[in-house]
């Protein structure tokens, strides 16, 4: 049972207040893999912008989301291993822009069967 968290409560995750930018590595070895990735990303409402770099096997997404949840969802739908390369958070509270420290490279989410 999923419950919605009221943004006014202290339980609301801090990164949900601002934009999150995440770069992932995923093996996109053919054009049909790129098309499938595009369809998966377009169906995810929390992702506002996306960039698929086939040659570098990188996918960059921006929006209001929980990075780990999005990476796991992509891994399940693509049936491929996803590695998070970088995560940055940008929030505009009182006109102040805050940047989260970069994610530690090498964090790999295992493929879920």
- 57 in a structural domain: yes
- 107 in a structural domain: no
| Statement: residue 52 has pLDDT above 80 | yes
Residue 83 confidence (pLDDT): 96
Q: Distance of CA 98 to CAs 12, 21, 90, 101, 111, Å?
A: 18, 13, 5, 10, 32
- 24 in a structural domain: no
Gap between the Cα atoms of 111 and 53, Å rounded: 21
- 71 in a structural domain: yes
Residue 5 confidence (pLDDT): 38
Find the angle CA(7)-CA(96)-CA(101) to the nearest 5 degrees.
85
**What CATH number is attached to the domain comprising 43?**
3.30.70
User: Could you give the number of structural domains in the chain?
Assistant: 1
- 21 in a structural domain: no
pLDDT digits (tens, 9 = 90+) for 18-46: 899 999 999 999 999 999 999 999 999 99
Helix (H) or strand (E) holding 91: strand 82-93
Q: What is the mean pLDDT of the chain?
A: 78
- 69 in a structural domain: yes
The whole domain housing 79 covers: 29-96
Confidence of residue 112 (pLDDT cuts 50, 70, 90): low
- 3 in a structural domain: no
| Statement: residue 76 has pLDDT above 90 | yes
């Amino acid at each position: 049972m999923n419950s919605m968290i009221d943004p006014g409560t202290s339980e609301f995750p801090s990164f949900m207040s601002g934009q999150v930018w995440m770069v992932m590595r995923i093996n996109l070895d053919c054009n049909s893999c790129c098309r499938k990735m595009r369809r998966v990303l377009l169906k995810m409402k929390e992702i506002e912008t996306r960039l698929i770099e086939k040659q570098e096997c990188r996918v960059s997404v921006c929006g209001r989301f929980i990075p780990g949840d999005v990476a796991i969802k992509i891994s399940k739908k693509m049936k491929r291993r996803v590695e998070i390369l970088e995560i940055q958070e940008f929030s505009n509270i009182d006109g102040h822009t805050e940047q989260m420290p970069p994610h530690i490279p090498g964090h790999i989410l295992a493929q879920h069967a």
